[in-house]
């Protein structure tokens, strides 16, 4: 089980690294034909995934939540130092809302998993 934990944590850190690269690279890959403001959806989805991955890989503690919120802000502020990138409060808001959604999704999944494991233990113990 410990091996699975470390694999999950490595994958979560990979998601963070991908988000950092996409946020701070001068010319991130673009999908042609999307509406003009679709970058807000991309910011939202990216930070939903970051928060969800981190909160499923580590116990939900204040330090993890603070790291997620800091990352959501820092990746947008960091664009001030990258040629060709533009800081945007709307993007930062989408990052933060996405992080909140990812945290909510992770909490729901954790609760569901606890119920499943509790039901399996009761069935195994014959209760």
Q: What is the pLDDT of residues 23-81, one digit of tens each?
A: 999 988 887 887 877 889 999 999 999 999 999 999 888 999 999 999 999 999 999 99
Confidence band of 105 (pLDDT split at 50, 70, 90)? very high
Structure confidence at residue 96 (pLDDT): 98
Q: What percentage of the chain has pLDDT greater than the value 90? A: 70
As a whole number, mean pLDDT of residues 104-121 equals 84
User: What pLDDT does 34 receive?
Assistant: 78
Residue 5's pLDDT band, with cuts at 50, 70 and 90, is confident
CA angle 17, 44, 46 (to 5 degrees): 20
User: Which pTM does this prediction carry?
Assistant: 0.85
Closest CA to 9 of 42, 58, 49, 47: 58
């Amino acid at each position: 089980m410990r091996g699975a934990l470390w694999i999950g944590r490595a994958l979560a850190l990979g998601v963070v690294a991908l988000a950092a690269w996409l946020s701070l690279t001068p010319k991130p890959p673009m999908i042609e034909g999307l509406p003009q403001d679709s970058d807000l959806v991309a910011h939202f989805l990216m930070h939903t995934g970051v928060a969800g991955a981190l909160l499923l890989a580590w116990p939900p503690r204040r330090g993890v939540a603070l790291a997620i919120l800091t990352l959501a802000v820092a990746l947008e502020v960091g664009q001030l130092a990258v040629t060709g990138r533009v800081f945007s409060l709307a993007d930062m808001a989408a990052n933060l809302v996405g992080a909140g959604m990812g945290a909510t999704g992770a909490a729901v999944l954790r609760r569901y998993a606890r119920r499943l494991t509790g039901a399996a233990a009761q069935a195994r113990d014959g209760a």
